[in-house]
Structure formats: structure tokens, C-alpha cells
Amino acid sequence: MSKSLRLKSFQPEEEYVYLTYSLKNNKKVKSKILLENYKHLLQKALDWLWERTKIERKEVKKGKKIFAKVKVTLPKKKEVYKVLRDELEKVNNLASHYVDKAINDAYSILNSWRRRAEKGQASLRKPRLRKVYVRVKSTLRKVEGEEVRITVRPYEYVTFSWSHKWFSRRVEGLELGEPVIKEDKVHLPFRYKLPWFTPLDFLSIDSNLYTLDAYDGEKFVTFSLKELYSLKFGMELKRSKIQSFASKHGRKGKVLLRKYSHRERNRVLDYVHKFVNKLLETYPLTMFAVEKLNKQSMFQDADDKLSKKVSRTVWRTIHRVLKYKAPLYGSFVKEVNPHLTSKSCPRCGWVSRKVGRIFKCERCGFTLDRQLNASLNIYLKMCGFPHLFLTPTGSRWVGVIPLKGRRGMNGALPRDSGEAQGLRIGYKFMKIQ
């Protein structure tokens, strides 16, 4: 099957993609007025609803053990909404639309607390408000060019502009959603309409401890993550020393530990964003397939040494950033179940019970590096091909061979000994006989 035939069958799953960017809050004086008044309004709504909330405790006996069961009943929103709104209007110093917002947020806080309290994960005391933010409704904001005007009170506004920002120059046709105002930052969520196209290339990625091994239907490529792993390892050693210091110096140690934790997170995110940007620039208009990994299940099956190595990986962060930025380059990301990808034969589908560094099929003799074999199987799952199938003409093609119209694939495919550093790609072509 040629690549052109595969492109016709592909349709983008989503018509829009949602992106969020942050700005520094340069209007702190007016924002502080909005946040303080809204916090007071939200606290009043929370207190009013808490007085009418019923908490019932029951003892449930299971065998010889007795468990305490909690049931929380909140007042029904339809029954109390009008009365609560009239009460809040008496103390409201903002636009009247903020009253509706405060009621909805209060119910959201109490519903979240109720779910955790009934599971025994939260205390039965009233939820406390700490840092409050305001999500501005569409009725309270007006977009003019590259700035948004937000109503605080009647005829009193606060304006935020994203003109000359890096994301406004890169992406055109952004539609602003509901801005989120905090004390120091303003988050602007945008909706971006995806263009009508289909990807030109396909790339499946197998995530490993030190590398990302990929296959694009024709050749293999290995991306080295040793620099990122070394960064995590070095910061882990520093953090262990700071933790011992923090245990002896109280508040001063906690401040230092928080500083280094933020530094580690920022350095990792900086590396990941640069890596993903180069990857997307190298493979524009591409359908990426990544594994849907679960670290917790890996820890259960691994010893202490391997668990420490797995804990230093940032696979989910790379996948999340790739999924977030791919639409800006005309690409898509698809998550694939990684079950048996390194143990299955891409030619005949035979599953090996135990696989070492090299995968060898006992049925057809197919031999390949284990990690590259996983990328082949991920590629098959992405394109929706089984291991063995018939073409419309009746001829039989197997494995990844029909994707390029090739019939024979014998012999081993040795792994390229020289791994690519960063995004300097090292290719190893398939041997065809």
C-alpha cells in the first residue's frame, strides 16, 4: 500500500486545538481590587452553603472490622440559587455577573470536597480558601485586536494586551476564551482552528531509559536523552544533600529545598521544550505515535535499582509537550497501547515470553534489536495494520513491508552503534533481499 493511499483514509479527529499562554500581571492594583472583592463574595457563598450542608456518619460492619462511612448532602442548586443570589447581591461590589460565577465556584469547591470526604481523603471541616483566582466569563470581557478588556465594575475596566508576544507572531487566527486572572499572572486560553490537511509522514516513537527509538516506515532513528538523564541525576544528588540540610535548619532549609526543586523543574522543562521544538521542525506535517505509559505499574515489576532509573525519566512530560505543540506545526499525536510491543514479531505476530537485548522470532526467524522492534510494532498499531493481512488483489503481505510496497525482508537489522546526540539523527536503513 502506498503512502498516498494511506493519506486518503486519514481524517483529523479534532477540528480545534486549545492552547494557553501566560502574561505577567502588570495591572496589579486593579487586579487586586477584583481578586479581593471576588474572594469575599466567594467566601460568603461558601459559608451560606456550608450552613445548609448535611453530614451523616454511619458505621458499616464488614466481617469483624467496623468502618465509618460518611455521607454528605449539599443543598440543591435549583432550590437555593435565587435566594443565595439575592443575599450575595447585598454585599457585592463588582459587576452582577460575578455573583453567578461565585455561586458556581462555591458549588464546584464543595462538590470536590464531598467526593474526597466520602472516600476518607479529606477532613470534615469546611474547605478553606487560600489563593483565589478569577476565571472571567465571556459576558465580562471584550476582545479588541490583540487585547482584552475585562469589566470589574460598571464603567470600570482592566485591559491586558498580548501584542508583540512570541505566540501572537507564530500563530494566526487565535480565538480567546475565558481569561484566568491571578495575583502575578494572567492566563489566556485560545482556540486554534486546525487547517484541513493530512500528515505527510508517520513516526512511531518507543520511549526508553536513555533514548527515544523511532521508525518512519522506511528507516530507524535514535534520539539520545543521556544529557537529560544526567541533568536529572545531578539535580537528584544536590537535592539529597539539601534535604539533609533542611532537616536540621527548619524554615531556612525548606526555602532552599523549594528553590532547588523549582530550578530542577525549570531546567527539565527548558530541555524538553527545546527538544520538542527541534523534533517538530525536523518532522513537520507528521503523525506521531507515542506509548501510553504507566510508571506505577513499572515500579511494581522492577527492583530498586531499575525503579530509581525509571523515576528519572520524563516520558510523560515529553509526550505532553509534544501533544500540546504538534498542532502548531500541522502535526498530530496518537497514543498507542504499549502492551507486548517489544515481545511481538512485526512479521508474523508471534509473542516471545522472554526477550533480551535482541528479539528473535522462533517461528519465522525475524531478528532485530528489542527497542527498534518495539518502534516497528508501534508503527503498525498507529496505522491500524495487523501483522498478517490480505491485499484487495488477493496477494499476501505481512508486517511493515506493505507500507512501502516491499515483499521480502530477511536477515537481522543491527542497531546503529552511534547514537544521535540531541537531534543529530543517525539512520540505519532496512536490509532488503
**pLDDT above 80 for 223:** yes
Sign of the four-CA dihedral 410, 414, 415, 416? negative
Q: How confident is the model at residue 386 (pLDDT cuts 50, 70, 90)?
A: low
Give pLDDT, residue 331: 84
Q: For residue 108, what pLDDT is reported?
A: 93
Phi, psi angles (nearest 5°) of residue 380? -60, -45
- Residues 6+ positions from 284 with CB-CB distance below 8 Å: 200, 329, 330, 331
Across the range 274-293, mean pLDDT stands at: 88
CB 102 within 8 A of CB 45: yes
pLDDT category of residue 159 using cuts at 50, 70 and 90? very high
- 351 C-beta neighbours (distance < 10 Å), count: 11
pLDDT for residue 432 = 28
pLDDT given at position 328: 77
Distance between CA atoms of residues 417 and 361, nearest Å = 22
Residue length of the chain: 433
Provide the pLDDT confidence category of residue 237 given band limits of 50, 70 and 90.
confident
Helices within 283-345 (DSSP H only): 295-301, 304-311, 315-325
Residue 196 pLDDT > 70, yes or no?
no
Residue 278 has pLDDT above 80, yes or no: yes
Res. 9 pLDDT band, cuts 50 70 90: very low
Contacts with 356 (C-beta within 8 Å, 6 or more apart), sequence order? 370
pLDDT of residue 195: 66
| pLDDT beyond 60 at 256 | yes
Place of cell 533542611: 246
Give the model's confidence band at 393: pLDDT under 50 very low, under 70 low, under 90 confident, else very high.
Answer: low
Distance CA 263, CA 266 (A): 5
Percent of the chain having pLDDT more than 70? Answer: 81
Q: How far is CA 214 from the centre of its chain?
A: 20
Q: What is the mean pLDDT of residues 7-27?
A: 69
Start-to-end C-alpha separation, the chain:
19
Task: Report the candidate in 326, 298, 358 with the shortest Cα–Cα distance to residue 203.
Answer: 326
Under the banding of pLDDT at 50, 70 and 90, the label for residue 430 is very low
Q: Which of 30-34, 214-218, 390-394 ranks highest by mean pLDDT?
A: 30-34
CB–CB of 159/27 below 8 Å?
A: yes
pLDDT of 200 above 80: no
Is the confidence at residue 267, as pLDDT, over 50?
yes
Percent of the chain with pLDDT over 90: 22
Q: Which whole number is the average pLDDT over 222-229?
A: 86
Would you call 73 helix, strand, or coil by DSSP?
A: strand
CB atoms within 10 A of CB 63: 5
Specify the pairing of strand 201-207 against strand 286-291.
Answer: parallel
Please choose, from the candidates 420, 426, 427, 425, the residue with its C-alpha nearest in 3D space to the C-alpha of residue 226: 420
Helices (H) and strands (E) in the chain, counts: 10, 20
- Answer yes or no: is pLDDT of 65 > 80: no
pLDDT-derived band at 170 (thresholds 50, 70, 90) equals low
Q: Looking at residue 197, what is its pLDDT?
A: 61
Please determine, for residue 175, whether its predicted confidence score (pLDDT) is greater than 50.
Answer: yes
- As a whole number, mean pLDDT of residues 4-10 equals 44
Q: How much is the pLDDT for 418?
A: 31
> pLDDT value at position 387?
57
pLDDT of 171: 63
CA 42 to each of CA 107, 115, 131, 299: distance values in angstroms, whole numbers, following the listed order = 10, 20, 12, 42
User: What torsion, rounded to 10 degrees, do the Cα atoms 112, 116, 119, 124 define?
Assistant: -110
Convert the pLDDT of each residue in 84-118 to its tens digit: 999 999 999 999 999 999 999 999 999 999 999 88
Q: Quick check: helix, strand or coil at residue 296?
A: helix
Lowest mean pLDDT across 59-68, 314-323, 386-395: 386-395
Confidence of residue 38 (pLDDT cuts 50, 70, 90): very high
Average predicted confidence (pLDDT) for the chain: 78
**φ, ψ of residue 94 in degrees (nearest 5):** -115, -175
Instruction: Give the model's pLDDT for residue 20.
Output: 86
Report the alpha-carbon distance of residue 131 to residue 122 in Å, rounded: 19
Is residue 390 scored above 80 in pLDDT? no
Over range 36-57, report the average pLDDT. 92
Lowest mean per-residue pLDDT among 148-162, 284-298, 375-389 = 375-389
